[in-house]
Amino acid sequence: MNDLQANTYLQLEIAELKAENTRLRKKLKENGRHARRVEKAFQDALLLANFAAVRIYPSRSYCLYKEQMPQRRWQNAIALLRLARVINGRRKWAVTDLATIGLRLETARQRAIDQPEAYRARLPRHGTR
């Protein structure tokens, strides 16, 4: 087999593997809309946790006007914090240690991706879309 044939064979094999990878990712829903929403909520939840750690109450209005975080992103972050049991009830912070919050958010992020209904249950009624 000459170099041109080997190169063509390898290019075909790479194309097949890329297609299979795409199919598997879709099956796992890692590239889906919900997974991207949860990933962004994770980043925003860490930001809100940092505010709470330095005694800045991360209210919806504070995040909107000071940090330009839209209401929907704030709601998604709060839902993830609720799922992680960092916030309970009416936004009372049960945990303020950033290391603990980070670990809880990691597990909550994976749970939210695996069980979308558990995440959506923590959203406000009008934010469940």
Do 91 and 123 form a contact (C-beta atoms < 8 A)? no
Q: Examine the domain organization and report whether 65 and 105 are in the same domain.
A: yes
Q: Examine the domain organization and report whether 58 and 108 are in the same domain.
A: yes
Residues 112-127 have a mean pLDDT of: 83
Q: Examine the domain organization and report whether 69 and 38 are in the same domain.
A: yes
Expressed as residue numbers, the domain containing 86 is 32-127
Q: Examine the domain organization and report whether 50 and 2 are in the same domain.
A: no
Residue 21 pLDDT class (50, 70, 90 cuts) = confident
Count of CB atoms within 10 A of residue 87's CB?
A: 24
Q: Examine the domain organization and report whether 16 and 76 are in the same domain.
A: no
Residue 8 pLDDT class (50, 70, 90 cuts) = confident
Count of CB atoms within 10 A of residue 79's CB?
A: 26
Q: Examine the domain organization and report whether 47 and 87 are in the same domain.
A: yes
Q: pLDDT tens digits for 63-76?
A: 988 889 999 999 99
Total structural domains within the chain? 2
Q: pLDDT tens digits for 102-113?
A: 999 999 999 998
Q: Examine the domain organization and report whether 26 and 57 are in the same domain.
A: no
Task: Give residue 30's pLDDT.
Answer: 60
Q: pLDDT tens digits for 35-85?
A: 889 999 999 999 999 998 888 888 889 998 888 999 999 999 999 999 999
Would you call 74 exposed, middle or buried from its count of C-beta atoms within 10 A (0-12, 13-18, 19+)? buried
**Rounded CA separation 14/129 (Å):** 37
Residues 30-35 have a mean pLDDT of: 75
Do 43 and 102 form a contact (C-beta atoms < 8 A)? no
Q: Examine the domain organization and report whether 95 and 110 are in the same domain.
A: yes
- Produce one character per residue of 108-122: b if its CB has 16 or more CB atoms within 10 Å, e if not: bbebbbeebeebeeb
Q: Examine the domain organization and report whether 3 and 49 are in the same domain.
A: no
Tell me how many degrees the CA angle 62-64-66 measures, rounded to the nearest 5. 60
Residue 22 pLDDT class (50, 70, 90 cuts) = confident
